[in-house]
Amino acid sequence: MTSQPWTAPVAPGAVDATVRLPGSKSMTNRALILAALADGPSTLAAPLRSRDTELMAGALRALGAGVAEDGAGWRVVPGELRGPASVDVGLAGTVMRFLPPVAALAAGDVAIDGDPYARRRPMGPIIAALRALGTGVDDEGRGALPFTVRGRGAVEGGVVTIDASGSSQLISGLLLAAPRFAKGVEVRHEGPPVPSAPHLEMTVRMLREAGAAVETGHDVWRVAPGPVAGRTWDIEPDLSNAAQFLAAALVTGGRVTVPGWPPDTTQPGDALRGLLARMGADVEASGGALTVRGTGAFRGLDADLHEVGELTPVLAALCALADGPSRLTGIAHLRGHETDRLAALVTELNGLGGDVRELPDGLEIRPRPLHGGTFRTYDDHRMVMAGAVLGLAVDGVQVENPATVGKTLPDFTTMWAAMLAAPAARRG
């Protein structure tokens, strides 16, 4: 779906807002997988409703699970997994990496495809791993989408070695389905470091919460075969989607509070507390909420974002408005995200007059006065959010195809307008 360009609003003054965020994409899609593999029904309370999670729900339904509306949540009733089925993964990394190992457990063929750029995202290691664990995959030699998983109703499992330097999701996908493999799984990683450690911790923690036995070591993860418990999953607010709202406090010298900030979380967005403080924000956690205050002036950032790569687009936009230069490193794998995010950020920030250089593993950003213009978004929700942050301070930023935020935050532009319309902003 393509929408009309959106003129990102200039902040009318210092923001002063409380922003309630919908559920975490990463937790919702893990909970859906575990619920579909469980030995009884589960409930997801406050899940994210967005393109990525609806695609996951649709994929699991196609394989035989019951995923039904339950008030604001979802009720999942596991069913016998079977093909033939066709699954659309859209551009969702979580669906394209978490679903194929579940498809391997189905009796019958499962054809899997997605958006055009999905065919360019790293999938080879998971295809090879499924074969090594005893499941046929017909990919016509592509090592990428589209492909068909030849499910036989059971997966032998065992030990497999992959290079997961392109995406942590390649490991998470194998681990999430592994309690249902006859021998469980031992996944070993060989290659450059695996990104997104917090997301791997999230996988391990949620598997354990569902009763699975998981052991971890250096670049090795083991899941024993065993039952997955049906349960209630309370989905935390999506902290990565807090980034753009909290950034608005720095850009405008205002205050943004996010209620329901979990005190102990595996979400990478929790790193925003430290990262924004390093840029000069006053960050306060109290009463279960996180509040960020800015003065309107803030420093550049020199940070390795390897573990929290999905925060990069919004942080890069913030860095382009900072008082000094920034270096964001450890993020070569972002070339395989929704788009090549390093190239996209260089092109679009420089298109507004910025001075951004691509490094082998990141970005170097030197702030310069920016001007309005088209900010292309490449079907990447976080590029829309980055454009919104720039628009707070730069008149005439035309964000292309804002509806692409539907991937994880369908109400984004409405929430953004509400934040800017909060009382203090109108006075400012």
Ligand X SMILES: O=C(O)C1=C[C@@H](OP(=O)(O)O)[C@@H](O)[C@H](O)C1
Note the residues at the interface with ligand PEP (CB under 6 A).
92-94, 310, 337-338, 382, 408
| 244 lines the binding site for ligand X (CB under 6 A) | no
Given the rule CB under 6 A, which of 10-18, 103-111, 191-199, 420-428 is the region that contacts ligand X?
191-199
The span from the CA of 339 to the CA of 115, in Å, is 11
Which is closer to ligand PEP, CB of 241 or CB of 291? 241
> Exactly one of 42, 43, 50, 94 binds ligand X (CB under 6 A); which one?
94
Structure tokens, 323: 């008082």
Which of 236, 307, 310, 338 is the catalytic position?
Answer: 310
- Partner whose footprint covers residue 382, from ligand PEP, ligand X, none (CB < 5 to 8 Å by kind): ligand PEP
Side by side, the strands of the sheet bearing 255-259 are 16-18, 255-259, 289-293, 282-286
- Residue number with CB closer to ligand X (122 or 391): 122
d(CA 91, CA 374): 23
Inter-CA distances, 341 with 14, 36, 331, 337, Å: 29, 32, 9, 7
Residue 155's nearest CA partner among 187, 127, 173, 133 is 133
341 is in an annotated binding site: yes
From 72-80, 163-171, 362-370, 419-427, give the range in contact with ligand X by CB under 6 A. Answer: 163-171
Sites for ligand X among residues 313-372 (CB under 6 A): 333
Closest approach, Cβ 173 to ligand PEP, in A, equals 11
Task: State yes or no: residue 51 binds ligand X (CB under 6 A).
Answer: no
**382 marked as binding residue:** yes
- Which of ligand X, ligand PEP, none is residue 333 near (CB under 5 to 8 Å by kind)? ligand X
The SS3 of residue 403 is helix
Q: How far apart are CA 228 and CA 207, in angstroms?
A: 8
168 carries a ligand binding annotation: yes
Active site residue 310: yes
Max CA distance (Å), the chain: 64
Residue pair 321/393 in contact (Cβ under 8 Å)? The answer is yes
According to CB under 6 A, which one of 28, 43, 148, 167 is a site residue for ligand X?
A: 167
For 176, the enclosing helix (H) or strand (E) is: helix 169-177
337 is in an annotated binding site: yes
User: What is the full DSSP assignment across 4-47?
Assistant: --EEPPPPSS--EEE----B-HHHHHHHHHHHHTSSS-EEEES-
- Residue 25 marked ligand-binding: yes
Q: How far apart are CA 102 and CA 374, in angstroms?
A: 41
* 167 appears as a binding residue in the annotation: yes
CB of 3 to ligand X, least distance (A): 22
Give me the least distance between CB of 241 and ligand PEP, in Å please. 9
Residues tagged active-site: 310
- State the residues that interact with ligand X by CB under 6 A: 26, 93-94, 167-169, 172, 195-196, 199, 309-310, 333
